[in-house]
């Protein structure tokens, strides 16, 4: 729902970085978006073209890498895969799982010219 604001932030960071690097344009933006994060990749892609219009990132390709969710189950005492934010441990079914991965919302790299 707040992908518009996230996208504005992505474009702003990308354009600032491009300016810092004396680049004319941003041609590609690579993101890490965790499977358990609160952002919807399709919505990010949808917003990106609109937000980037008229900036150095206009026409840039947005690539989104989904990182899988994982957590530490206190009851099993080990790392388990998590398919849902605040979800149960797939092995013991209890909810005492501390999320350790899958929450990422990060710009990994940019391609600039």
Interface positions with other proteins (CB under 8 A): 1-2, 4-6, 9-10, 12-13, 17, 21, 23-25, 27-28, 31, 38-39, 59-61, 85-86, 95, 105-113
CA atoms of 50 and 90, how far apart (whole Å): 40
CB of 84 to other proteins, least distance (A): 9
Q: Which CB, 10 or 70, lies closer to other proteins?
A: 10
Q: Which CB, 37 or 70, lies closer to other proteins?
A: 37
CB of 105 to other proteins, least distance (A): 5
Residue 65 Rama label (left phi>0; alpha psi -120 to 50; beta): beta
Using an 8 Å Cβ cutoff, are 102 and 38 in contact?
no
CA atoms of 79 and 108, how far apart (whole Å): 25
Q: Which CB, 67 or 111, lies closer to other proteins?
A: 111
Helices (H), the chain: 3-20, 41-52
CB of 86 to other proteins, least distance (A): 5
CB of 30 to other proteins, least distance (A): 9
Q: Which CB, 26 or 70, lies closer to other proteins?
A: 26
CA atoms of 103 and 6, how far apart (whole Å): 14
Question: What is the DSSP pairing of strand 26-34 with strand 61-67?
Answer: parallel
């Amino acid at each position: 729902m707040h992908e518009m604001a996230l996208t504005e932030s992505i474009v702003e960071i990308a354009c600032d970085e491009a300016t810092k690097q004396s680049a004319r344009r941003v041609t590609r933006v690579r993101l890490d978006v965790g499977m358990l994060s609160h952002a919807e990749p399709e919505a990010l892609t949808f917003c990106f073209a609109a937000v980037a219009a008229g900036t150095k990132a206009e026409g840039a390709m947005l690539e989104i890498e989904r990182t899988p969710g994982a957590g530490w189950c206190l009851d099993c005492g080990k790392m388990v895969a998590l398919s849902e934010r605040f979800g149960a441990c797939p092995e013991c079914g209890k909810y005492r799982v501390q999320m350790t991965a899958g929450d990422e919302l990060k710009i990994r790299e940019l391609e600039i010219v």
